[in-house]
Amino acid sequence: MATPAGAAVTSEPETTAQRARRARIIQATLALASRGGYEAVQMREVAERSEVALGTLYRYFPSKVHLLVSAMAHELERMRIRLQRKAIPGTTRQERVSYVLERSTHSLQRDPNLTEALVRAMMAADATVADEVTGVRNQMADLIIQAMRNGSAPSEEDVAYAGILQDVWFARQIAWLGGRVSSEDIWNDIEQAIALVLRD
Amino acid sequence: MATPAGAAVTSEPETTAQRARRARIIQATLALASRGGYEAVQMREVAERSEVALGTLYRYFPSKVHLLVSAMAHELERMRIRLQRKAIPGTTRQERVSYVLERSTHSLQRDPNLTEALVRAMMAADATVADEVTGVRNQMADLIIQAMRNGSAPSEEDVAYAGILQDVWFARQIAWLGGRVSSEDIWNDIEQAIALVLRD
DNA sequence: GCGGATACTAGAACACGTTCTTGTACGGCG
DNA sequence: CGCCGTACAAGAACGTGTTCTAGTATCCGC
């Protein structure tokens, strides 16, 4: 259960300056994404804002997609910490999972540009980004599974359910950024899927 | 129910030469996609192979994503016709839906490069491609719903189920082209989702 | 403190999606 | 038949992700 973090799997020891650079890059990325979405995250601009050379940016994150997926891992980590502060309300699995996914969804959709950038990157990820994407999916699955089991160990079935719900969640995000459904509809669809998948 | 085709919604009357150009473009697209996937479908190359100028290609399909989504609609249409030739085998909803999705999945995965190109385009679609994407999704939903109801009229619930299954189907394709799961695993996951969503 | 490796900077260069420009062919209308 | 507008051809040009080059700084072992 629960991989502690989906962030960098590379366990290279970094100097303080390097950690600071990495942090500046992620911050610049989030700021640009928040302002104008995926297309506004331009590598030259990220490099300039984080005060590193373009080549250095590419040394830290080998592509725009790597960069944005890493930024998403960073955001999810923040959300996980925030959620862990207090117990998840709800007496049934459905209620708790709905709570967690709703919190996450709304927290993201409060910043539609950022969401668009992060989700689009997840979708654009090819095999070279597999590690980072797996990290994000694990973090997300952890959120769902914790809500389902409320602490106790998950069954194999639980993991499968979490996977399906996550698939639906991502697919609905895509539908939203494909302009085919409104952001309220997204939430209705996800709730419906939760009720369906987790019905007793 | 069942929009007859998800292809061009534009009902502009085309001359014979124009229909031929459009067909050549789609064929060239499919050929290139089949050979090298998404990145091998280069607009200059498509234009050259279909013997139209680059500007003309863009007149017919305003972006690479439009082009590939239209190609997917074309392929799904072929599949629909093929499936309609004979009755769908299976006595339960699960069996029939499994049959249809398995046929479709395998038929696509027999050509992984093509699948990668088409699925990636679906994921990359933004609001400007909403019409084409909706067409593809309708075609796909029709396939599933027809399998579920085996002819009779679908309930509102059925449509929702078809939507969820389609979401899972796409999400699993992404997982596959993200290099995170093998093509057998995809199929297991989809079967599992079918069993779960359509359990009685 | 010194030498060599590694990381970083600055910026040019390249690739491909997309747009723009200029000239030409074609199809309908008087 | 001749004219005009629209579609097409050919290719240059532009933007942004990515790579490459040359020079400089920083860090680590001696």
- Please calculate the CA angle A103-A104-A109 and round it to the nearest 5 degrees: 100
Mean pLDDT over each residue of chain A, to the nearest integer: 87
How far, in Å, is the CA of B52 from the C1' of nucleotide D9? 8
How far, in Å, is the CA of B71 from the C1' of nucleotide C27? 29
Mean of pLDDT values over B136-162: 87
| B43 min Cα distance to partner chain A (Å) | 19
Instruction: Give the nucleotide at minimum CA-to-C1' distance from B39.
Output: C16
Lowest pLDDT segment from A176-185, B9-18, B148-157: B9-18
Q: What pLDDT score was predicted for residue A13?
A: 63
User: Contact at 8 Å (CB) between B80 and B142?
Assistant: yes
Structure token digits, residue A139: 């973090």
DSSP letters, B141-195, are HHHHHHHHHTTSPPPHHHHHHHHHHHHHHHHHHHHHHTTSS-HHHHHHHHHHHHH
- Right CATH for B16-197 from 1.10.3720.10, 1.10.10.1590, 1.10.357.10, 3.40.50.800: 1.10.357.10
Between B160, B164, B171, which is nearest A170 by CB? B171
Interface of B with A in 130-189 (CB under 8 A): 130, 133-134, 137, 160-161, 163-164, 166-168, 170-172, 174, 177-180, 189
d(CA B174, CA A136): 14
3-state SS string for A54-118: HHHHHHHCCCHHHHHHHHHHHHHHHHHHHHHCCCCCCCCHHHHHHHHHHHHHHHHHCCHHHHHHH
Percent of chain B with pLDDT strictly greater than 90? 47
Range with the largest mean pLDDT of A113-127, B59-73, B137-151, B183-197: B59-73
What are the boundaries of each domain within chain B? 16-197
d(CA A35, CA A49): 14
CA-nearest of B30, B52, B56 to B41 is B30
Query: What would the pLDDT profile of A57-112 be if each residue is shown by its tens digit?
Result: 999 999 999 999 999 999 999 988 888 888 888 999 999 999 999 888 888 778 99
CA-nearest of A16, A29, A15 to A57 is A29
First-to-final CA distance of chain A: 23
